[in-house]
């Protein structure tokens, strides 16, 4: 017995059932051409993931039924295994089905429904309660879906039902280190069940989520024998055979290498930008280029995602803009080959100041007044949004996670735009990613990396005038935002109480800004978005 199985690491579009059906048909043709007997596609590939409240639309099931009929008719000689929502007895399930020779042969209902961080499947789906084992060319094959593999029970159940090979369909989003976590869990399950596990994952960007792929084959000893490249469509072929009563897995070539953290994060950001812009039909992007490191890194990511012809950079200087900022912004644009222009904002700021002079008369400025600084940022936001309207380009904002966390950004100013590339990237990682990108080819001038960061909204201003050093700030933010540690826990870890209390207060009082911020790709286990939901109006006080 020898069975070739193709794992189709694909990039569906949420809600585009006809387009996703066509994608499945393309994969059927490709798998057939490669001599595969079984084709495995990701979880909910027909709807994309997460479909959210599209699952509640009354026309969902007829559209799914039509798509499945088309796929079943195309599955003449192949066994096609794919994920879709299924309504059975008035209940909606996250399902995986097996189609062959015009018929549905089996259907599995996901048992372990994730309801944490970015997941809220219990809002939509009922949980299944039984194994699904189907014999394909003499091999008893079990189906599971994504979260099932992170729990022991579905594997135990499948083994008891006679399975000797497991197929696991996934829509598993990226965060730093996720592939290593997955493969460690896959190894545990394979060894516990004494059977190989073939893991097929989705790839591509969907709003703030990025799916990195990493489809792989793990043998019964827990060894990864095959692995698809990250952040790329792929058809991963493996062959299974019977050897002394056991199922053996044979790879076609060496596994794709695991990426290090900087490479994987950079790949996730590129993927997130590419798919958000392209899937939403924008011609390209425009961003403000300040001469600082955040906008420089954002520009590099945008070019790597879309190509220089779809990227426009605009420098908008004011009287506080340093000469080196102008020089560095121009050099960045030249190195990356993008359209570049300089639009000074002096007249706009002066015009607003004149308009407001009467209203401000007799009212002394409060301490630490930022009115003039915010006017500058908002004038820049108006310029970028005007260019967006006229040219059909998406405005990329350039704020990093450290700034977004503590509110070091201006509503309707530097926050104005449609996609924040660095929204989940702490400032210290911005520096690491900039050095990583320069290791591929020099696109960010070294002076930009070396100079003290500044918003350049006031004379001689630096970020550290208003914030703790980024090494301290980011460490506190990682503990408070990503790990949910309390102030007492963070202080006990050795951080100054004054810094901790100040940072936590800034995070808490700036929730209203984050609610109005652009979406951005999630690269940590807890970003600002789907998986961190705090009330704006609340009386909670930091403490134990």
Query: Judging by DSSP bridges, how do beta strands 284-288 and 246-251 pair with one another?
Result: unpaired
| Residue 300 neighbours by CB under 8 Å, 6+ apart | 332, 336, 434, 437, 443, 444
Q: Which of 112, 126, 132, 146 is catalytic?
A: 146
Helix (H, G, I), strand (E, B) or coil at 265: helix
Query: Catalytic: which of 107, 110, 482, 485?
Result: 110
Angle at 47 between CA 8 and CA 266, to 5 degrees: 60
> Residue 511 to residues 400, 406, 416, 470, 484: CA-CA distances in angstroms?
15, 9, 16, 20, 16
Question: Residue 192: in which H helix or E strand, if any?
Answer: helix 178-193
Q: Which conformational region is residue 539 in: left (phi greater than 0), alpha (psi within -120 to 50 degrees), or beta?
A: alpha
Q: Which residues contact 141 (CB under 8 A, 6 or more apart)?
A: 38, 133, 134, 135, 163, 164, 165, 166, 167
CA angle, corner 523, sides to 315 and 514, nearest 5?
60
Q: For residue 325, what are the contacts with CB-CB under 8 A and spacing of at least 6? A: 290, 291, 292, 315, 317, 456
Q: Supply 415's token pair.
A: 């926050």
Whether 43 is catalytic is yes
Return d(Cα 376, Cα 396) in angstroms, integer: 18
Q: Pick the catalytic residue: 43, 126, 147, 482?
A: 43
| Contact partners, residue 434, CB within 8 Å, separation at least 6 | 293, 296, 297, 300, 444, 448, 449
110 is catalytic: yes
Catalytic residues: 43, 110, 146
């Amino acid at each position: 017995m020898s069975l070739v199985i193709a794992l189709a690491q694909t990039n569906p579009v949420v809600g585009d059932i006809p387009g996703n059906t066509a994608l499945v048909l393309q994969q059927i043709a490709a798998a057939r051409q490669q001599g595969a007997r079984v084709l495995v596609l990701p979880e909910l590939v027909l709807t994309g993931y997460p479909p959210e409240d599209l699952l509640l639309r009354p026309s969902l099931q007829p559209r799914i039924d039509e798509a499945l009929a088309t796929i079943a008719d195309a599955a003449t000689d192949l066994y096609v295994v794919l994920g879709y929502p299924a309504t059975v007895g008035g209940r909606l399930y996250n399902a995986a089905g097996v189609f062959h020779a015009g018929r549905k042969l089996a259907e599995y209902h996901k048992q372990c429904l994730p309801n944490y961080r970015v997941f809220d499947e219990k809002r939509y789906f009922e949980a299944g309660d039984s194994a699904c084992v189907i014999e394909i060319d003499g091999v008893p094959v079990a189906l599971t879906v994504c979260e099932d593999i992170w729990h022991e029970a579905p594997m135990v159940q499948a083994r008891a039902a006679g399975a000797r090979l497991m197929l696991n369909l996934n829509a598993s989003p990226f965060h730093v280190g996720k592939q290593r976590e997955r493969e460690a869990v896959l190894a545990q399950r394979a060894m516990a069940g004494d059977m190989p596990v073939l893991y097929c994952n989705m790839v591509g960007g969907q709003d703030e989520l990025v799916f990195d792929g990493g489809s792989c084959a793990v043998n019964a000893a827990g060894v990864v024998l095959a692995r698809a490249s990250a952040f790329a469509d792929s058809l991963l072929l493996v062959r299974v055979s019977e050897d002394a009563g056991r199922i053996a897995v044979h790879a076609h070539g060496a596994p794709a290498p695991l990426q290090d953290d900087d490479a994987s994060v950079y790949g996730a950001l590129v993927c997130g930008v590419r798919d958000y812009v392209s899937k939403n039909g924008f011609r390209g992007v425009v961003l403000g280029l300040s001469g600082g490191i955040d906008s420089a890194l954002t520009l590099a990511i945008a070019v790597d995602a879309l190509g220089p012809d779809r990227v426009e950079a605009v420098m908008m200087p004011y009287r506080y803009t340093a000469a080196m900022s102008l020089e560095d912004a121009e050099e960045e644009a030249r190195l990356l080959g993008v359209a570049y222009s300089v639009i000074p904002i002096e007249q706009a700021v002066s015009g607003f100041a004149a308009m407001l002079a009467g209203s401000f008369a007799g009212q002394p400025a409060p301490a630490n007044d930022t009115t003039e600084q915010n006017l500058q940022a908002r004038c820049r936001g108006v310029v970028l949004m005007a260019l967006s309207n006229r040219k059909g380009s998406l405005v990329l904002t350039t704020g990093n996670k450290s700034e977004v966390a503590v509110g070091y950004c201006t509503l309707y100013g530097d926050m104005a735009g449609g996609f924040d590339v660095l929204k989940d990237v702490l400032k210290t990682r911005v520096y690491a990613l900039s050095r990583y990108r320069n290791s591929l080819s020099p696109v960010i001038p070294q002076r930009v990396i070396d100079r003290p960061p500044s918003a350049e909204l006031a004379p001689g201003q630096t970020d550290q005038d208003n914030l703790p050093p980024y090494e301290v700030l980011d460490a506190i933010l990682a503990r408070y935002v990503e790990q949910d540690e309390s102030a007492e826990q963070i202080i006990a870890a050795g951080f100054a109480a004054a810094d901790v209390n100040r940072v936590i207060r800034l995070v808490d009082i700036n929730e209203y800004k984050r609610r109005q911020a652009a979406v951005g790709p999630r690269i940590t286990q807890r970003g600002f978005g789907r998986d961190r939901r705090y009330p704006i109006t609340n009386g909670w006080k930091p403490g134990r």
